[in-house]
Structure 1
Amino acid sequence: MSHQLGSLVSAILNRHFGEIVQKVGDDLFSFGARPVAAIAKTTEIPRIKVVESLRTLLKYDLVTFEPSKNEVVADYKIVPDNILLLMRYPRYLLQIKSKHGSEAEMIVEEVLQRGCVTATNLLVTLARKYKDDRV
């Protein structure tokens, strides 16, 4: 089961975020909680790219972090259950549209695509999209 779950998590990460994030996710899935330096060393990805990948995964709540034993460095840990939920996004959008209409669907879709967004930015983005659709 673990090998199959790892393959599925890897495929989902690659589809949604690309190859670099996939490699970081694979490393975390294989080795468990690890600091940035260890991830960069085993994946042979530059440290800055590893940090950007972890930032993306944290934004979508697909990775958590906690202090390591020396409490100076953070250990990052992947959350496979949250990654599996990415596959449900189309179903979420269908349910929202059927129950609340297309405007609600646009709001939920934007939040799902960005991971997190302020209400102001959300409204401005949706107003621009709505204006572009009408013209």
Structure 2
Amino acid sequence: MSYQCGKVISLVLQERFGDLVESIANYLYKYGPCSLLQLKKQMELPLPKVKEVLAVLLKYSLISIKHPNNTDLYALECNRVLWMLRYPTYIKLIKRKFGGDAEVLLEEILQKGYVNETDLLEITLERLTKISVAATLPSLQEKLNSLVIAKYLINFSSQPEIKEDTVKTDEKDKPMEISTPIKAWTINPDRFHQDLRDDFIVSAFANRFDNNAAELIRVLIQQMYVRTEPWAVVSNPVPIVEVKDLIKKMNNFPQLIAHFDQYVAVLEQDNSKFMYKVGEASGGSFQLGMKHIFTVFAWEICEHIVLEKFDSKSGSYISSR
């Protein structure tokens, strides 16, 4: 990765964990996976301090352990460090979908890396009580279960790179044990990113057309998940009749219901080519180009920048790429 990326990673870790954690993480960024003894020697730090820093980084899933030739090597997970910048967005998303109680639950997990379920519920209840928000342990347990069912939270022990492990040292040193509490939860970044991606697509079509078109796209993506892996490049076919029936049942967009076929035709003909028809039976089905749409967005942003900086002719040249 680039020098600038390294600077961002250093700043994020320094602000959150302090100079010592930042210095060891920065070394791992520059030189790649290292053993415990390598870090001790190169950083000129006491072994207990190095162990303490590795324990912190493991707790927050910011490093992983590799085992070449039966040697434990510690590797910095750069993306996970950068994802910490998205934590406020994660919190807003959960508040919007699940309410204030779930927001506080998530804040506690993000603050601590992972939290024992019992402790999490008690701490959250205490925080809510202090700000005079009515909540009970059963209601918080229900919110927590909802976050787990929706896969925003996952069992800590289910992550192989964060599993209970032992750092091997020489015979004079005791091994460092990273214990995992029973029934502890941590966040599942992939699930948050899936929602952020979908929100971005829906918002883009709202700006491109209107809220009715955006709702049609939203329901199409929702139904895509019934039959397609979330990060597939192209979705499996989604029957348009199924989408129409769902929109009718919701009955929140009367204009979309009244002009459904016209909206489908306009979106199908749009130069983004996000949705395209396959088959003719029962009105046909549509596939969604989940990867292609971001290529289109990227080009449109480039065109907009060039157009602002130069003139319409330069924008036309870019469009004819």
Normalising by structure 2, what TM-score? 0.40
CA shift for structure 1 position 94:
1.3
Instruction: Provide the rounded CA distance (Å) in 1 between the counterparts of 2:5 and 2:45.
Output: 23
Unmatched 5+ stretches in structure 1: none
In structure 2, list runs of 5 or more residues that go unmatched.
134-321
Letter paired with 2:99: G
Match of 1:122 in 2: 120
Question: Within 5 A, what are the aligned runs for 1:87-126?
Answer: 87-126=85-124
Look up the match of 2:9. 9
SS at 1:88 equivalent: helix
For 2:68 and 2:56, locate their aligned partners in 1 and report how far apart those are by CA, in whole Å: 21
1: distance between equivalents of 2:130 and 2:94?
22
Superposition deviation, residue 129 in structure 1: 1.5
Q: CA deviation at 1:37?
A: 1.2
Deviation at 1:11, TM superposition (A): 0.8
Q: The residue matched to 2:115 in structure 1 has which SS?
A: coil
Structure-2 residue corresponding to 1:85: 83
- Please tell me the root mean square deviation across aligned C-alpha atoms, in Å: 1.5
Output the CA distance in 2 between the equivalents of 1:15 and 1:30. 19
Q: CA deviation at 1:22?
A: 0.2
**2:65 & 2:23 partners in 1: Cα distance?**
18
1:47 Cα deviation after fit: 1.4
Give 3-state SS (helix, strand or coil) of 1:34's partner. Answer: coil
User: Could you say what secondary structure the match of 1:11 adopts?
Assistant: helix
When the two structures are superposed, what TM-score results if normalisation uses the length of structure 1? 0.91
Q: Output the CA distance in 1 between the equivalents of 2:17 and 2:2.
A: 22
- The aligned residue for residue 39 of structure 1 is 39
CA distance in 2, matches of 1:100, 1:75: 39
| 2:20 aligned partner | 20
Task: Tell me the equivalent position of 1:52.
Answer: 52
1:33-92 Cα offsets, whole Å, 9 max, x none, are 1011111221222211111111111111110012242x1x41100010111000000111
Deviating above 4 A after TM superposition, structure 1's stretches of 4 or more consecutive aligned residues are none
C-alpha separation between the residues in 1 aligned to 2:28 and 2:96?
38
Distance 2:9 2:50 in 1: 18
Specify the code of the residue in structure 2 equivalent to 1:57.
Answer: L
Describe the SS at the equivalent of 2:65. strand
- Determine which structure has the larger helix proportion and give its number: 1
Aligned length: 133
Larger radius of gyration: 2
